[in-house]
Amino acid sequence: MALIVQKYGGTSMGSPERIRNVARRVAKFRDAGHQVVVVVSAMSGETNRLIALAKEIQAHPDPRELDVVISTGEQVTIGLLCMALKDAGVDAKSYTGGQARILTDNTFNKARILNIESDNLRRDLDSGKVVVVAGFQGVDAAGNFTTLGRGGSDTTGVALAAALSADECQIYTDVDGVYTTDPRIVSEARKLDVITFEEMLEMASQGSKVLQIRSVEFAGKYKVKLRVLSSFQDEGEGTLITVEEGKQMEEPIISGIAFNRDEAKLTVQGVPDRPGIAYQILGPVADANIDVDMIIQNVGHDGTTDFSFTVNRSEFEKTKAVLESVRQHIGAREIVGDNKVCKVSAVGVGMRSHPGVASQMFRVLAEEGINIRMISTSEIKIAVVLDEKYLELAVRVLHRAFGLDQG
Ligand code: ASP
Ligand code: MG
């Protein structure tokens, strides 16, 4: 007997018929003698609908009240799935995030899980029940509803698997695993059988939307065995996300090409070149809760320098406003921005032992006449910022150049 956490995304929960389908799958695992905890998302489109509704009332919704509204989507699906399970003869009980004692900090809309008091869940599991927990939500110490950021149900699933020391956390979605790149852009993309936590983390933070970044961090930290599978197929092992030793010896140098369209680049020009300037620029940006990605500071000329970084495109205007007050404060010349950029990254642990991957990547892009705007690297990743119009081309040529095409 194993303890399995299964997370079903919005598409898998998208209609009564699909919810019954999920119930059948859960029942199968239960009948095989396993204990099952199910984590669900809201029905597809529902969270977007709730956010839009909130914005119709208030252009910038109050963060606490927004969480009250958008956490309702998952409250609907836990109840519906339990009904479907009971109809299929499976004893089940629903839990909201608060009822499951998923305790978070009080950063509304982006809360972090601090602790899960799982005694009640365990008691129900031991009495033979399937436990169905609302993804994406928790409560803070004062009992306020909180949510974990878009896509946060993945993190709920992994966190519960860690708290319950589950044997496996299965993320059911509308694709059958993690691919070398998005098959909608490159039809030759292949499903990976295995990927390391580190690679998955880079893929997720470089734009691959299969798993929420935080869930991968969590899984790596607590060594949760994580698997991505399709909820629409009965066969298939999906993709196992694991520690590096689990990978085969003959691994490819590059495991995948990730990309993100939603990038924006900002530059503070004519910054006085003196100690503390990076902090003076990025401190207020961090205080405004804006995530910064690539950062470049140029060589100084005549006592000034240029300072560039990227943010998510949705935070472009907000960042510009923050920088404008910084500019006045530090006496910089000008803020320039470009929100028509994208990021393309090659990811692979094999890079560690193979020099020259970066230059190969730059050569391939040069041959296509693609101008690189920014570069950043880590041990297992090379990322470039490009003009948005080059995204598809860059992904396609890199996928081919690194030998990832099928067949
Ligand atoms: N329903 C939430 C969202 O759409 C959480 C999730 O699906 O993981 O972002
Ligand atoms: Mg998701």
CATH code: domain of residue 386:
3.30.2130.10
pLDDT at residue 192 greater than cutoff 70: yes
384 assigned to some structural domain: yes
Angle CA 347–350–353, to nearest 5: 130
Q: Which atom of ligand 1 is nearest to the CA of 151?
A: 8
How far is the centre of ligand 2, averaged over its atoms, from the C-alpha of 397 (Å)? 28
Name the residue with the closest Cα to ligand 1, atom 6.
151
Looking at residues 293-308, what average pLDDT do you find? 89
For residues 115 and 20, state if they share a domain.
Answer: yes
User: Based on the structure, what is the number of domains in the chain?
Assistant: 2
The whole-number average pLDDT for the span 98-127 is 97
Instruction: Assess if residue 84 is contained within a domain.
Output: yes
Mean pLDDT of 286-308: 90
Whether residue 150 has its Cβ less than 6 Å from ligand 1: yes
Q: Compute the distance from residue 108 Cα to the ligand 2 centre, in Å.
A: 19
Tell me, yes or no, whether 233 lies in a domain: no
3-state secondary structure of 40: strand
The string of pLDDT tens digits covering residues 236-269 is 899 999 886 645 555 678 999 999 999 999 999 9
Q: Report yes or no on 185 lying in a domain.
A: no
- 276 and 157 within one domain: no
Q: Is 106 helix (H, G, I), strand (E, B) or coil?
A: coil
Parallel, antiparallel or unpaired: strands 145-147 and 137-139: antiparallel
Between CA 243 and CA 222 the distance in angstroms is 11
Classify residue 346 by burial, with Cβ atoms within 10 Å: 0-12, 13-18, 19+: buried
Among 8, 40, 46, 47, say which to mutate for ligand 1: greatest number of ligand atoms within 8 Å of CB: 47
Give the pTM: 0.85
Residue 134 CA: which ligand is closest?
A: 1
Q: Give, for ligand 1, the residue of 7, 77, 136 to mutate: max count of ligand atoms closer than 8 Å to Cβ.
A: 136
Asked whether 40 and 77 are in contact (CB, 8 A), the reply is yes
pLDDT at position 160 is 98
Residue 258 is classified by DSSP as: E
Residue 406 scores a pLDDT above 80: no
| CB 80 within 8 Å of CB 157 | no
Strands (E), 275-317: 292-297, 304-312
Q: Is 209 helix (H, G, I), strand (E, B) or coil?
A: coil
Cβ–ligand 1 contact at 14 (below 6 Å): no
Amino acid letter, 309: F
Please count the other Cβ atoms lying within 10 Å of the Cβ belonging to residue 69: 18
Q: Which ligand is nearest to the CA of 13?
A: 1
| 151 C-beta closer than 6 A to ligand 1 | yes
User: How many Å lie between the centroid of ligand 2 and the Cα of residue 326?
Assistant: 36
Are 301 and 160 found together in one domain?
A: no
| CATH code at position 141 | 3.40.1160.10
Regarding the beta carbon of 10 and ligand 1, being less than 6 Å apart is answered: yes
Average pLDDT over residues 162-191: 94
Residue 247 lies in a domain: no
State the pLDDT confidence band at 407, using cuts at 50, 70 and 90: low
How far is residue 233's CA from residue 230's CA, in Å, rounded to a whole number? Answer: 6
Handedness of CA 31, 135, 185, 194 (dihedral sign): negative
The verdict on residue 41 lying in a domain is yes
For residue 322, give its domain range: 257-401
Q: Give residues whose Cβ lies within 5 Å of ion ligand 2.
A: 9, 151
Which of the pair, 236 or 279, is modelled with greater confidence? Answer: 279
Q: Is the pLDDT of residue 298 over 90?
A: no
Percent of the chain with pLDDT strictly greater than 70: 98
Summarised one tens digit per residue, pLDDT across range 195-207 is: 999 999 999 888 7
Q: How many CB atoms lie within 10 A of CB 10?
A: 24
CA distance 214 to 63: 20
pLDDT tens-digit map of 54-76: 999 999 999 999 999 999 999 99
